[in-house]
């Protein structure tokens, strides 16, 4: 009978052993671990994972942390052989009493087995398989090796796998920095991570912590006095940081898409890559702030879209109670935007009284005079609100910005506010290295993940003109080439269409110097230049500068009619800044796998695409745009700066692209639905201030640098009106730059100013 029983047990053992996983794979422990993204100063800016796990060696885990888990989960860990018969028997009787499986009696080794090889189902068959595997593992591995696997593998709630990830989640620090109280909290989580979460259920977490400490006392790991002191210790639970959203979300989302597309999702989310990027966190923060500031200012120029809601008198009290509950958690403070309800409109004193929960605030007319009725056809400066009753009424739910507490009163001073609808993008490249320091693709990543700096294709308008002018320089034009700015009629026979291009302002200016045409952004002159040098030549030239989007093969590209990305435009301008060299933008500087192997590393790719002297002359021309033309607003930078505005038909898009000797930066402003920004909202007014605010703050503590003049560029005194060498010094005399051999001589034959309208001139060189 005994032999029969033994044979039965052996038979069951071999039957259950069939198809069990090979335990040798534990030697090659390679669990899914997080991929981490770093900024240019090696600060963490993002994590990507399916299981948030950071593997650390056992000697980086406090001894008390190890003992806490052993006391709570498997007190006989160092004594049994992978399975604890006493615990199994105890659990068996508990389950009999309950009439269900309520206790498992699993050892730490069994939990490792279940985590790696088996399903989490609760059945006796699975428990028997688990016991067999646990026995095999215990024979093959040292106890500390098993504990290492367990403490790195165990799920501890809120997406954290292993003690290091959990320590960061709950306490904002590494596991090796944990004190006894924190160790006990973590050790209490494996049984039910959600139920004992210190985030969701701090009382339950405390109860479980006390249980773990008492178990540690029972096992002789700590004294009663230590336990009592630890129980009374205040815990500081840190809100888990969402790196992805907090730091540079648009930038890291661009990286995520690239890595997933190139290496696949498994590598991205499981293989623990270290991705080093070119982004600068502080510059990125400045860009986001300046975009927000610029869009709020633009939004106020566009008028007030009205209250977010309207309440009946009997609804105000209930609404105010709800708002007060929110304010109890996040109190009002200076600079904060919040919803309030209007309770009084006083046109005599030109004030509005609003209720913010249990407190009151005042809006003066000066802080809401911008709230005119939206009308894109009327300039913002022509209309304003004179009395608050023109805009608001009692019961209106509105947004306000808190300005501060009014002295010696219980009242708050507020300003009428609304969330902008327009979007903006900003991209900044360190010109010499190609490192993309800033990429902001919209107003708020939480609302829209669309990256308008890279994914969007919008018409650049006049911001595209420098590409045409640079192409013309390589075709023999000089800054003093004269072109007649006069009406021109272009017939499109294929589409049966007649085009009569005009300048902004509906005027024509006659003989115009090449430099002045770009400075004043003359449309007709640019079209004539393009017609002369050839459309195909100009498109090929744009390709050399890094423009990859499709360009229409017609003269309208002179006015930026073909959509391109902000990244392309900034890359093209950087060629001028780099004296003719195209440096490919660098977003990722290096990717290293979990074993330290470098998967890819960026090395600056510099390709000479245009002549140095042509590039410098373009810089000089674009400096003129800033000093005397449409880019005049950025003169306030008080540094050498070159740039160009861009505004499209119907004011759909506003651009400013420009550069200093170190950085090339571009900004775009517009609506996603192609609505008009409104009359007068040009690149100069809508986009340039964002660019200026950003660059002022970025360069504030940096020394002034000047643009380098390459060999092959000469300077000559020129008459600013005629483009000729001056006969005598006068107020019209300026210094102009030229390629060697192209400085004009005395010109005896004056241009025929009565020539045909389409005719234009290049002075004899």
- Could you give the CA distance from residue 295 to residue 423 in angstroms, rounded to a whole number? 7
- Could you give the CA distance from residue 208 to residue 156 in angstroms, rounded to a whole number? 13
| Residue 73: active-site member | yes
With beta carbons less than 8 A apart as the criterion, state whether 280 and 439 touch.
no
State residue 619 phi and psi, 5-degree precision.
-60, -45
Distance between start and end Cα atoms, the chain: 117
- Could you give the CA distance from residue 196 to residue 237 in angstroms, rounded to a whole number? 13
Q: How many CB atoms lie within 10 A of CB 276?
A: 18
Strand-strand pairing, 733-739 and 482-485: unpaired
- Could you give the CA distance from residue 642 to residue 578 in angstroms, rounded to a whole number? 13
| Residue 177: active-site member | no
The CA R_g of the chain, rounded to the nearest whole Å, is: 35
Q: In what order do the strands lie in the sheet with 642-647?
A: 435-440, 423-430, 663-670, 653-659, 642-647
- Residue 168: closest CA among 180, 186, 154, 151: 186
State residue 733 phi and psi, 5-degree precision.
-80, 130
Point out the catalytic residue in the list 167, 456, 462, 556.
Answer: 462
With beta carbons less than 8 A apart as the criterion, state whether 283 and 370 touch.
no
Point out the catalytic residue in the list 47, 73, 430, 681.
Answer: 73
- Could you give the CA distance from residue 740 to residue 218 in angstroms, rounded to a whole number? 91
With beta carbons less than 8 A apart as the criterion, state whether 658 and 644 touch.
yes
Which helix (H) or strand (E) segment holds residue 345: the answer is strand 337-346
With beta carbons less than 8 A apart as the criterion, state whether 482 and 744 touch.
no
Greatest Cα-to-Cα distance within the chain, rounded to the nearest angstrom:
129
Which helix (H) or strand (E) segment holds residue 47: the answer is strand 44-48
Report the length, in residues, of the chain: 765
Active-site amino acid positions: 73, 462
């Amino acid at each position: 009978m005994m032999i029969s029983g033994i044979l039965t047990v052996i038979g069951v053992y071999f039957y259950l052993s069939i198809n069990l996983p090979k335990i040798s794979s534990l030697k090659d422990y390679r669990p899914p671990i997080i991929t981490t993204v770093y900024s240019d100063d090696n600060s963490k800016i993002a994590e990507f994972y399916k299981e948030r796990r950071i593997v650390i060696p056992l000697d980086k885990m406090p001894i008390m942390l190890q003992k806490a888990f052993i006391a709570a989960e498997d007190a006989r860990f160092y004594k049994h052989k992978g399975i604890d018969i006493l615990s199994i028997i105890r659990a068996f009787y508990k389950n009999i009493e309950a009439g269900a499986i309520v206790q498992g009696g699993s050892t730490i080794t069994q939990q490792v087995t279940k985590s790696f090889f088996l399903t989490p189902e609760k059945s006796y068959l699975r428990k028997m398989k688990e016991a067999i595997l646990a026995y095999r593992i215990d024979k093959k591995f040292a106890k500390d090796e098993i504990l290492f696997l367990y403490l790195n593998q165990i799920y501890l709630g809120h997406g954290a796998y292993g003690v290091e990830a959990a320590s960061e989640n709950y306490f904002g620090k590494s596991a090796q920095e944990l004190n006894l109280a924190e160790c006990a909290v973590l050790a209490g989580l494996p049984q039910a991570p959600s139920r004992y979460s210190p985030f969701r259920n701090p009382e339950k977490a405390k109860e479980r912590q006390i249980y773990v400490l008492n178990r540690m006392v029972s096992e002789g790991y700590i004294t009663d006095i230590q336990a009592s002191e630890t129980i009374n210790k205040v815990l500081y639970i840190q809100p888990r940081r969402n790196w992805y959203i907090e730091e540079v979300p648009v930038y890291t989302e661009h990286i995520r898409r690239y890595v997933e597309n190139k290496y696949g999702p498994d590598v991205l989310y499981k293989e623990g890559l270290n991705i080093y990027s070119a982004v600068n966190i502080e510059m990125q923060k400045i860009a986001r702030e300046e975009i927000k500031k610029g869009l709020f200012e633009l939004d106020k120029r566009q008028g007030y879209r009205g209250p977010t809601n309207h309440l009946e008198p009997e609804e105000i009290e209930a609404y105010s109670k709800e708002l007060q509950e929110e304010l109890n958690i996040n109190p009002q403070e200076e600079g904060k935007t919040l919803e309030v309800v209007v309770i009084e409109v006083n046109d005599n004193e030109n004030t509005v009284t609003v209720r913010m929960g249990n407190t009151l605030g005042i809006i003066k007319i000066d802080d809401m005079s911008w709230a005119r009725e939206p009308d894109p056809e009327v300039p913002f400066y022509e209309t304003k609100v004179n009395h608050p009753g023109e805009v608001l009424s009692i019961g209106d739910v509105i947004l306000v910005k808190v300005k501060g507490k009014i002295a010696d009163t219980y009242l708050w001073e507020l300003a009428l506010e609304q969330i902008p609808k327009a979007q903006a993008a900003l991209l900044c490249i360190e010109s010499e290295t190609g490192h993309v320091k800033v990429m902001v693709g919209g107003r708020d990543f939480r609302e829209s993940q669309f990256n308008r700096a890279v994914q969007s294709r919008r018409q650049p308008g006049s911001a595209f003109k420098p590409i045409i002018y640079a192409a013309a320089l390589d075709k023999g034009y000089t800054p003093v080439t004269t072109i007649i700015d006069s009406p021109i009629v272009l017939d499109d026979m294929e589409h049966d269409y007649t085009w009569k291009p005009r300048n902004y302002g509906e005027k024509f200016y006659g003989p115009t110097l090449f430099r002045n045409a770009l400075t004043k952004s003359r449309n007709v002159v640019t079209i004539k230049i393009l017609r002369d040098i050839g459309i195909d030549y100009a498109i090929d030239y744009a390709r050399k500068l890094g423009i990859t989007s499709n360009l229409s093969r017609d003269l309208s590209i002179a006015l930026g009619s073909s959509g391109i990305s902000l990244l392309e435009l900034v890359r093209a301008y950087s060629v001028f800044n780099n004296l003719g060299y195209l440096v490919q933008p660098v977003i990722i500087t290096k990717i290293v796998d979990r074993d330290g192997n470098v998967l890819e590393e960026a090395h600056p790719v510099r390709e000479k695409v245009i002549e140095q002297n042509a590039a410098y002359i373009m810089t000089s021309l674009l400096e003129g745009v800033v000093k005397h033309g449409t880019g005049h607003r950025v003169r306030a930078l008080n540094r050498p700066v070159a740039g160009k505005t861009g505004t499209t038909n119907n004011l759909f898009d506003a651009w400013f692209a420009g550069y200093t000797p170190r950085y090339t930066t571009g900004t775009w402003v517009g609506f996603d639905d192609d609505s008009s920004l409104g009359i007068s909202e040009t690149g100069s007014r809508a986009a340039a201030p964002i660019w200026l605010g950003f660059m002022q703050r970025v360069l504030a503590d940096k020394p002034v640098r000047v643009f380098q003049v390459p060999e092959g560029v000469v300077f000559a005194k020129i008459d600013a009106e005629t483009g000729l060498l001056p006969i005598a010094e006068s107020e019209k005399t300026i210094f102009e730059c030229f390629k060697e051999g192209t400085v004009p001589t005395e010109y005896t034959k004056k241009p025929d100013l009565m020539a045909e309208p389409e005719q234009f001139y290049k002075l004899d060189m």
